Amino acid sequence: MMMAGAHHILPPKFPPTTRQSPLPRNLPRPASASASASTSPTAALTAPAPLVSAATIQDDDRTAAFWDYQFLFVSQRKETTEPILLRVVDGAIPVDFPSGRYYLIGPGLFRDDHGSTVHPLDGHGYLRAFEFDGEDKGVRFMAKYVRTEAQLEEHDPVRDQWRFSYRGPFSVLKAGKKLGNVKVMKNVANTTVVKWGNKLLCLWEGGDPYEIDPLTLDTVGKFEVINSRDTMAFPGHSPRVSNPLDLAAAMLKPILFGVFKMPARRMLSHYKMDAEKQRLLVLSCNAEDMLLPRSHFTFYEYDSSFHLIQKKEYVVPDHLMIHDWAFTDSHYIMFGNRIRLDVLGSMGAVLGLSPMISALSVNPGKPTSPVYLLPRSSSHDEGTAHRDWRQPIELPSQLWLLHFGNAFQREGSSRDGVEIKFLATAASYRWLDFPSLFGYDWRSGKLDPTTMNETRGEQGHLPHLVQASISIDSEGCCSECYVEPLNKFTKVADFPVINPEYSGRKNRYIYAATSSGSHQGLPHFPFDSVVKLDISEGTTHVWSTSRRRFIGEPVFVPRGRSREDDGYIILVEYAVEIQRCYLVILDAQKIGGGEGDELMTRLEVPKHFNFPFGFHGFWDSTTTTTC
Question: SS3 for 288-350, per residue?
Answer: HHHCCCCEEEEEEEECCCCCEEEEEEEEECCCECCCCCEECCCEEEEECCEEEECHHHHHHHH
Inside any domain, residue 491? yes
- Residue 20 included in any domain: no
Question: CB–CB of 448/14 below 8 Å?
Answer: no
CA distance 137 to 139: 7
For residue 538, the number of C-alpha atoms closer than 13 Å in the C-beta half-sphere is 3
Does any domain span residue 541?
Answer: yes
Q: How far apart are CA 101 and CA 622, in angstroms?
A: 8
pLDDT of residue 619: 98
Residues above pLDDT 90, as percent of the chain: 61
Strand partners, 560: none
Q: What is the CA 619 to chain-centroid distance, rounded? A: 16
Q: Output DSSP code: residue 244.
A: H
Least confident span in 258-262, 370-374, 502-506: 258-262
**Weakest-pLDDT range from 98-107, 283-292, 368-377, 534-543:** 283-292
Higher per-residue confidence, 290 vs 588: 588
Residue 581 domain flag = yes
> Which range, 12-16, 165-169, 237-241, has the best average confidence (pLDDT)?
165-169
pLDDT of residue 323 exceeding 50, the answer is yes
pLDDT, residue 461, reads 84
Quote the pTM value. 0.88
Partners of residue 407 on adjacent β-strands: 422
Do 316 and 371 touch, CB atoms closer than 8 A?
A: no
User: Residue 415: pLDDT above 90?
Assistant: no
Residue 118 has pLDDT above 90, yes or no: yes
**In the prediction, which pLDDT does 10 show?**
40
387 band by pLDDT with thresholds 50, 70 and 90 = confident
Residues 269-287 have pLDDT tens digits of: 999 999 999 999 999 988 7
- Inter-residue contact 226 to 209 (CB < 8 Å): no
Ranked by mean pLDDT, the top range of 169-183, 344-358, 515-529 is: 515-529
Higher local confidence (pLDDT), 213 or 380: 213
176, 180, 184, 188: CA torsion to nearest 10:
-30
The arithmetic mean of pLDDT across residues 56-61, rounded, is 61
Range of the domain at 444: 43-620
33 against 175, higher pLDDT: 175
CA proximity to 277, closest of 579, 519, 504: 504
Q: Are the beta carbons of 285 and 319 closer than 8 angstroms?
A: no
What pLDDT, in 10s, does the model give residues 60-80?
Answer: 678 889 999 999 999 999 999
Number of domains in the chain: 1
Give the integer Cα–Cα distance in Å for 125 and 299.
25
CA–CA separation, 219 and 618 (whole Å): 17
Of the candidates 333, 340, 330, 327, the one whose C-alpha atom is nearest the C-alpha of residue 393 is 333
Position 513 scores a pLDDT of 98
In a domain, 371, yes or no: yes
Helix (H, G, I), strand (E, B) or coil at 24: coil
Average pLDDT, the chain: 84
Per-residue pLDDT tens digits for 567-623:
999 999 999 989 999 999 999 999 988 778 999 999 999 999 999 999 999 999 985
Rounded distance between C-alpha atoms, residue 244 and residue 67, angstroms: 51
Determine the Cα–Cα distance for residues 530 and 552; give it in Å rounded to an integer.
10
The pLDDT confidence band at residue 444, using thresholds 50, 70 and 90, is confident
Q: Is residue 291 part of a domain?
A: yes
CA 565 to chain centre: 23
592 falls within a domain: yes
CA atoms within 13 A on the CB side of 208: 17
| % residues pLDDT > 70 (the chain) | 80
3-class DSSP state for residue 120?
A: helix
Residue 6 CA: distances (Å) to CA of 111, 272, 491: 21, 32, 21
Q: Is 5 within the bounds of a domain?
A: no
Query: Is pLDDT above 70 for 131?
Result: yes
Antiparallel, parallel or unpaired: β 446-447 and 440-441:
antiparallel
- The confidence score (pLDDT) of residue 381 equals 58
